[in-house]
Copies of this chain bind each other. A is one copy, B any other.
Amino acid sequence: MNETAPDTDLLAVTLARTLAHEHVADIVETLNEQDEATITRVLAELPFERAVEVLDQPEFTTAAEMLERLPEGRAGALLSAMSADRAADVFQEFDDETRQRLSGRIDRQTRSDLSKLLAYPERSAGSIMTTEFVSVPSNWTVQQTLDHIRRVERSRETVYAIYVLDSVTRKIVRAVSLRRLIAGDPEAPVESVVPARKPITVAPEVDREEVARLITKYDLLAVPVVDAQEHVIGIVTFDDVIDAMIAETTEDVQKLGGMEALDQPYNEIGFTAMIRKRAGWLSILLMGEMLTASAMQFFEDELEKAIVLTLFIPLIMSAGGNSGSQATSLIIRALALREVRLKDWWRVALRELPTGVTLGIILGLIGVVRIALWQWAGLYDYGPHWVLIAATVGAALLGIVTFGSLAGSMLPFALKRLGFDPASASAPFVATLVDVTGLIIYFGIAAVILSGTLL
């Protein structure tokens, strides 16, 4: 595995030289397209600091494999120099053997940081925070702080804000941005350059979505993560949050499409994993949809008497599914943006009811016109009772679209109330839910309108 052909060697050395001066994001993009042997050689050839920068990029997808392939000494040094949050991510990808082997090669501080980070639940602030940040005691001056930053700048991933800690209790008292610091009087105490207000902080257990909401709301570059004693234990930076937001959106879109979230890029997920993520929901939905067969068995007499009714089953079911899917995606998004909250469910219901009725009237009219038009133009003969059939279809569309809008909008609330992610209310889920009810509404209305004539 560690042998490389001379060709690869030459290519890798040349590549490493060319890349040394590129932006790190571009290096990563180029590396991601190479084979493993070449990437390993390039990482060995790149200046140490550049190699660390490359490994620090979450976009560099083969970081774990590369560190496994590199000589232990270099791998350990690189892991120790990487930002702690990225090192923790990479560590999670290692198998047990590699984890043990490389653990001995990283320095004590990094090892202790890593074990703390790895203990936090997935998707929490603690799991995406970095432990490298700049803090100063509250009795320092602006100039002392600036001198301190000058010394540590190279070793800190992110000096966006400086956290001022009480000089005795070490509790966080202020967050000072760099620009405020530069604009401040050098002799003034560091805490005097910002308004006397407690900084926004989060606990390590807080979900990353909540962190994203705070960073967005307060336009922060980073938010400090504090423990129960209000000591800063790390920071979550805006770029981690952007990455988290993109991942959450991907999850939401995939769930809305009626599947489990892939958690991996489309190109990289294996065949069996892909089937597993998709087959589960498809099977559940199919079994739910089997209730339609049972519902139709129940109406078999009506079906045999008026075969013409079957012609409109797909039409009516899809109208219900579509209106439900609209309402669901609207409410999922409004809940995610906190435009509506759980307690607003009845307000939404009061809004969706007239909306559903109006949409139902529009679709019902289209349905009636379609039947009348076909009858009139001689495209199809619905028989002597075609007016009653048109009325049945129109009324069924009105009922189903109203029901679909209402059920679709209430489902995310119900899921949230039960402690599930409202985004699990996928379009296919709603459609299935509405289909069975839709059939019952359709045949119920048919029984009333057509009784004595067709039925």
Contact = CB atoms under 8 A, between A and B. Distances in A.
Interface in A271-314: 271, 274-275, 278-279, 281-283, 285-287, 289-290, 292-293, 296-297, 300, 303-304, 307, 310-314
A318 B331 CA distance: 23
B311 A21 contact: no
Q: Which of A22, A197, A321 has the most B CB atoms < 10 Å from its CB?
A: A321
Q: Does more than half of chain A's interface fall in helix, strand or loop, or is it mixed?
A: helix
Contacts of A187: none
Interface stretch (A3-11, A122-130, A258-266): A258-266
B279 A362 contact: yes
Contacts of A367: 286
A387 interface: no
A54 B35 CA distance: 52
A93 interface: no
Contacts of A21: 195-197
A415 interface: no
Contacts of A281: 322, 326
A299 to B, nearest CB: 10
A287 B366 contact: yes
Interface of A: 21-23, 25, 59, 146, 149-150, 153-154, 159-160, 178-180, 182-183, 195-197, 200, 215-219, 221, 238-239, 241-243, 245-246, 249-250, 252-254, 256-259, 262, 265-267, 271, 274-275, 278-279, 281-283, 285-287, 289-290, 292-293, 296-297, 300, 303-304, 307, 310-315, 317-319, 321-323, 325-334, 337, 339-340, 348, 354-355, 358-359, 362-363, 366-367, 370, 380, 397, 401, 426-428, 431-432, 435, 439
Q: Which of A221, A278, A397 has the most B CB atoms < 10 Å from its CB?
A: A278
A404 to B, nearest CB: 10
Contacts of A258: 322, 325-326, 329, 427
A313 B315 contact: no
A154 B183 contact: yes
18 contacts: A178-B179, A215-B242, A241-B242, A250-B333, A256-B427, A266-B340, A274-B355, A281-B322, A282-B359, A286-B319, A286-B363, A290-B370, A303-B307, A303-B310, A307-B307, A318-B321, A318-B432, A325-B426
B253 A252 contact: yes
A278 B249 CA distance: 23
A116 to B, nearest CB: 24
A428 B325 contact: yes
Given A217-B59, A359-B279, A427-B258, A296 B317 contact: no
Given A182-B178, A246-B216, A283 B154 contact: no
Contacts of A179: 149, 153, 159-160, 178
Contacts of A300: 307, 311
